[in-house]
Structure 1
Amino acid sequence: MAKSGEREQWGTRIGLILAVAGNAVGLGNFLRFPVQAAQNGGGAFMIPYFIFFILLGIPLMWIEWGIGRHGGKYRHGSAPGMFDVLWKHKLAKYLGSFGLFISLTILIYYTYIESWTLGFSLFSILGFFSNETVQTMPNFLSSYQGITESSTFSSIWTAYLLMLFTFVLNFYILYRGIAQGIEKLAKIAMPLLFIFAIILVIRVVTLGTPDPSLPENSVENGFAFIWNPDFNQLGNPIIWLAAAGQIFFTLSVGMGTIHAYASYLKPKDDIALSALTTASTNEFAEVILGASIAIPVAVAFFGLDMTKAIAQGGAFNLGFVAMPAIFGSAHLPLGEIFGFLWFLLLFFAGITSSVAMGQPIVAFLEDEFGMDRRKAVLTLAAVVLISVQLVVFFLKYGFLDEMDYWAGTFGLVVFALMETILFMWVFGADKAWKEMNDGGDIKIPRIFYYIMKYITPVILAGIMIWWFVQNALPTLLLKNVSPENVPYIWGARVLMLVLFGGIIWLVKKAWNNRKEIF
C-alpha cells in the first residue's frame, strides 16, 4: 500500500491490463453470454453483437479510461470528483454519484452469486452431482439457496457460510490495495481462468456425440447454432437490444470501475492501446472460450430445442442446472473434475470483477474524506455485509432481481450516456480526443472521434428509451409481480434509495468540507 498522503499506482502495465480485463471478464462472459445467444437466435445474435462491440464497447472503453486517467491527475479515483473536473457545475458531482451507486449496488448481490460458484466447485469435486439430472438440479439449486428443502440441503446455512468466506476474501484483497491486492489477484486468477477455460474447450471440442443413439445431439450442432446466422431474424429489434445489453455486461462499462482503475495511471501512461487490449482480452474470453463451452456441450447432451428451453430460464438455469447435470452424467468421464474447473473458473471471473466494484467506493472515501485504506475498506464492508443479508434471505421474493434490473441493467446505460455526453460534449470532443491519445502507444483511428461524439450517444439514448418503455416502466409499475412479492420488491427499492441517498449526502459533505478547507 502507498505511504500516507501518496496515491497508489499500478506495479506493472501487465498487472493493470490483467486487472481491468479481470474487471470485464466476469460471470457475464461464461453464464450470461451463452444464454443471450441461445435466447436470441444463436448466429443471428452474433452479428449485432459485433456491431455494437465496435460502436459501443470499444468507444466506451476509451472514454472511461480517458475520464479515469484525467480525474486521477486531480487525485480523484471515483466518478463524482471526475465529473466535477469535467464540468464545473454544482450538479456534476451528483451525476457522478450515480456511478458509485451502481457499483455499490451490484457489488452487494454479485458477491452472493459469486459465492455460489465457489460452492458448486466444491460440490462437483465431492461428487454431489453424480445422481443429479437436469430435472432434479432445479431443486438442488433452490434448496442450496434456502428456497426449498432437500435431502442435500435442509437450510440456507451452507450458502450463507460460503457467502461469508467470499465476502471476507473480497475485502481482504481490497484492503491489500492496488498493487499488492487487486493486481496480485489478477496476475494469479486471470492466467488460471484462461488455462481452465482452454482445458474445458478442448474437452468440449473432443466430446463429439455423447449418446450415439441421438446423433443430432452433437457438439458440432452446438457450434453450428452459434456461428451459422439466420439472416431473416435480423429484422427483430429484440435481438439487437439484447446484443447491445450484453456489451455493457461483458465489458463492465457504465459502472465506474474502469474509471477507478485508470485513475491510478501516470499522466502520460498509455490508455489507447491498453483499453483496446483489455476489450480484446475480454472478447477472447467471451466469444472464443465462453461460446465454446456451455452451448455446445448442452446441445450435445440435451439437444438444441431443450438447450433453448433451458436458456429461457436464464443464466442460473444454464450455469447452475444444466452444467452440473452434464458433469454428473455417466457419458462424461471425469465429469467431477471438469465441473470443479468450470465453477472455479466462474469464481475467478467473479472475484476479479467484484473487487473492481468495491474500488470506486474505497477511492471515494480515501480521496474525498482522507480516510486511510483500512478505514475505507471497513466502512464499505459494513454497508455491504448489512445489505447482503436482505439479498440472501429474500432471494425467492425477487429482491435480487429488482436490484439487478435497476442497477445492473437500466442503470448501466443511463450512466454510460451521462459520461459520454459529459466527456465528448461538455468537456469537449477535441480535448477528450487529445486526452485519450496522449501518451498512447497507438493513435486511435480518427473515425472513432465521430463515433464517440455522435453515434455512441445516439445508440445509448435509443437503448435507454427502448428499455424504459418496454421494461423499466412495467417493472416500475409492478406489472406481472406476484402479490406476495410486492412488499419485498418495495423493500429492494427502499434499500436502493437509502444507498443512493447516503452517497448523495456523502458527496455533499465532502464538497462542503473542501470549501471549508479552501
Structure 2
Amino acid sequence: MSRPQEAWTSNLGVIFAVAGSAVGLGNFLRFPGLAAQYGGGAFMIAYFVSLLVIGVPVCWAEWTVGRHGGHHGYHSSPGIFHALLRRRWAKYFGSIGFLIPMLVCMYYVYVEAWCLGYAVNAISGRLSVPGMHYGEFFATYTGANVDGVAVKFGLGDVGIFVVIVLLLNLYLLYRGLSKGIELACRVGMPLLVGLGLILLVRVLTLGTPDPARPGQNVLTALGFMWNPGDSVLASLRNPQLWLAAAGQVFFSLSIGLGVIITYASYLRKTDDVTLSGLTAVSANEFCEVALGGMITVPAAFIFLGAAGVAGQGTFALGFIVLPEVFAHMPAGVLFASAFFVLLFLAAVTSSLSILQPVIAFLEEAFAMRRAVSVSWLALVMILGTGFVWYFSKDLKALDTIDFWIGNVGVFLQGTVIILLFGWVIGIEKSWREMHRGAALRVPGFFRIVMRYITPLYLITIFTLFLLDKVVGWNFSFEKPVFQQTGYIADLVGNAPSPVARITVGFIIAVCLLGLALVTVAGRRWRSKPVAPHYRK
C-alpha cells in the first residue's frame, strides 16, 4: 500500500504533538476538581497507581502498535489492525480507534469554542463586571437553559467562536502533520507552559488576601488540595476513587482515543518509542500535577473557601468558580485572560490530535487527497458539533456522548490495545518491537505488568465502572442496593429524556455509518499487498 508523504520533522516534533494531545482541559479543570472531591492525597495515591499500571503501559503499547502498523504503510487504527492481524474481523476492532475520536471531537470543539469565547470576554473586561452572576452567564452563553438558544452569531455569542474554532482546526489539519499539527504544538505547548507558570507564581504569591479570613491562605489551600487527611485508608477503600483516578489517567493521557496509534504510525522504524512515550507522559504530568493541581483549586480556595470548591464539576469549576476568583484578584482581568488563553491553547492542541485519526482513515480508506478528506471532515464536524450545539439544555447531548463514548469507549479501546500487544501479537514479539532503536530499556518486570497486570486491572476497573454507572450498585455486600443511574434513567426510566434518546440514536447511526465505511475500506485493503514499508 503506497504510503502518504506525511512525516514528523523530528522525534521532538512527535513528542510535542503527543504531549499537545494529552495536555488539555482535563489537566487544568478535571484533574484538580477530582483531587479536591476525593480527598487530595488519597486521590493522588490511586492516580499514580493507575498511571503506572494503566497509563504508561497502554501508552507504550499504543506507540509500539502504531509504529509497527506504520511499517506496513497504514496510519489509521482500522488499517493497522487489518495489517497486523490479517483477519477480516480485525479492522472492526480497530474501528473503535476511528469512531471514538470522530464522536468525541463533535463536542470537544464546542467546548473549545467556549474557551476562546471566555478568553475574548476576559480580555475585553466583560468577565470582571461587579456583581456579575457567573452561573447565569455560563448557562446563557453555552445554551444550558434552553435548546437552540446558543445558536447565534453575534459578537457576544458563542456561535462566532464555534465558526472560528472549526476553521482553525480544519486549516491546520489541511496543512498536514509537520506544517500544521506539529507547528501548532511546537508554538502552542511552550506558550501554554509559560502562561501556566505565570499563573502558578501568581497563585503561590497570593498570601492571605483577606485578613478577615486568615484560614484562607496559600499554605492552607495547598493543604486542602494535597494533604491525605486522617481518613486516607477509608478513602482508598472507596471504589469510586479508583474509578475516578483511572478515568482521569485515560482522559489526561489521550490513551484509548486512537490518537497515539495514528501519530506513532508516521515514525521511522528506528525512532525511539519507549523514551518518546515516557517523555510525552512526563510533559503531561508536569502540566497536570505541577500546574493544574496547584493553580485551579488553590486559587478558588483562597478566595472562596472550601465551600466554594466542594462539589464543583469540571465545567462549573472552570467557567463559573474561577471567573469569580479572578474578579476578586488584583489585576484579575490580566490573569483571567491568561487562564482562558491557556485553556484555549490546551484545547486546540488536543482537538487537532483527536481529528487527525479521522483524516488518516478517510485518506487511507478511499485514497482521498487532503483537500477532499478535510472537506468531508468539515461536513462531519458541522453536523456533529451542530447537533451538540443545538441540544444544549443541561448540556444533555454533550454529556451523553461524553459518557457512552468518552468514558465507555476509551476503556474498551485501551483494553483492546493492551490485549493486542501482550496476547495477540505476543509479548516477546511486541517487546522486541518496542525496543527497536530504543535508547531507554524498559525494566523487565513490565513484561509481566503489560501481559497480565494491566489487562486484569483494566477489566476490573471497567467492570466496577459498569456496576457503578450503569447497574447502580452501592458496592455493599451486606446491604446491596441497585439504583437506576441517571444515564440509564434517561433512556428507559419512568421519565426518560428525549434528548438523551435522540443522542444515543445519533451515536448508533454514526457508528453504523463508520462500520459501513470500514467494511468498504476492508475490501479495498484486501486487494493490496500487506508488506513492510519503512521510511528510512
Residue 156 (structure 1) shift: 4.3
1:425-444 counterparts in 2 under 5 A?
A: 425-444=423-442
Moved more, 235-244 or 153-162: 153-162
* 1:303 counterpart (298, 302, 305): 305
Residue 148 (structure 1) shift: 4.3
Runs (4+) of structure 1 moved beyond 6 Å?
480-485
Q: Does 1:369 align with 2:366?
A: yes
- SS of residue in 1 equivalent to 2:216: coil
Q: Deviations over 1:379-417 (max 9, x none)?
A: 111111111111011121511100000111111111111
Conserved? CA contact 1:69–1:266, under 8 Å:
yes
Conserved? CA contact 1:362–1:376, under 8 Å:
yes
* 2:68 counterpart (48, 67, 70): 70
Conserved? CA contact 2:142–2:150, under 8 Å:
no
Aligned to 1:350: 347
Residue 218 (structure 1) shift: 1.5
Using the size of structure 2 for normalisation, the TM-score is 0.91
Aligned to 1:446: 444
Residue 240 (structure 1) shift: 1.5
Q: Does 1:240 align with 2:242?
A: yes
Alpha-carbon distance between aligned partners in 2 of 1:237 and 1:146, rounded to the nearest angstrom: 34
- SS of residue in 2 equivalent to 1:270: coil
Aligned to 1:337: 334
Q: Deviations over 1:32-81 (max 9, x none)?
A: 00111111111211111111111111111100000110111111111111
Residue 306 (structure 1) shift: 2.7
1:507-518 counterparts in 2 under 5 A?
A: 507-516=518-527
CA distance 1:296–1:429, shift in 2 (3 Å): same
CA distance 1:147–1:61, shift in 2 (3 Å): closer
- SS of residue in 2 equivalent to 1:478: helix
CA distance 1:484–1:145, shift in 2 (3 Å): farther
Alpha-carbon distance between aligned partners in 2 of 1:343 and 1:321, rounded to the nearest angstrom: 12
Aligned to 2:286: 284
Query: Gaps (5+ residues) in structure 2?
Result: 472-484, 530-536
Aligned to 2:532: none
Aligned to 1:80: 78
Conserved? CA contact 1:107–1:354, under 8 Å:
yes
Moved more, 433-442 or 85-94: 85-94
Q: State the one-letter code of the partner of 2:513.
A: G
- SS of residue in 2 equivalent to 1:477: helix
Alpha-carbon distance between aligned partners in 2 of 1:383 and 1:6, rounded to the nearest angstrom: 23
Q: State the one-letter code of the partner of 2:143.
A: G
Alpha-carbon distance between aligned partners in 1 of 2:514 and 2:144, rounded to the nearest angstrom: 32
Q: Deviations over 1:275-323 (max 9, x none)?
A: 00000000000000111101110110011233113x2xx1111000011
Q: Does 1:56 align with 2:48?
A: no
Q: State the one-letter code of the partner of 1:499.
A: V
Aligned to 1:417: 415
Q: Identity over the aligned pairs, expressed in percent?
A: 40
Aligned to 2:224: 225
- SS of residue in 2 equivalent to 1:278: helix
Residue 480 (structure 1) shift: 9.4
- SS of residue in 1 equivalent to 2:95: helix
CA distance 1:475–1:429, shift in 2 (3 Å): farther
Q: Does 1:465 align with 2:439?
A: no
CA distance 1:505–1:379, shift in 2 (3 Å): same
Using the size of structure 1 for normalisation, the TM-score is 0.94
CA distance 1:239–1:154, shift in 2 (3 Å): closer
* 1:39 counterpart (27, 37, 40): 37
Residue 513 (structure 1) shift: 2.4
Conserved? CA contact 1:86–1:426, under 8 Å:
no
Aligned to 1:205: 204
Alpha-carbon distance between aligned partners in 2 of 1:347 and 1:464, rounded to the nearest angstrom: 31
Alpha-carbon distance between aligned partners in 1 of 2:463 and 2:421, rounded to the nearest angstrom: 21
Q: Does 1:266 align with 2:268?
A: yes
Alpha-carbon distance between aligned partners in 2 of 1:501 and 1:487, rounded to the nearest angstrom: 21
Q: Deviations over 1:118-172 (max 9, x none)?
A: 1111111111122356x811101011113449xxx99744111111110110111
Residue 361 (structure 1) shift: 1.1
Q: State the one-letter code of the partner of 1:498.
A: A
Aligned to 2:215: 216
Q: Does 1:501 align with 2:503?
A: no
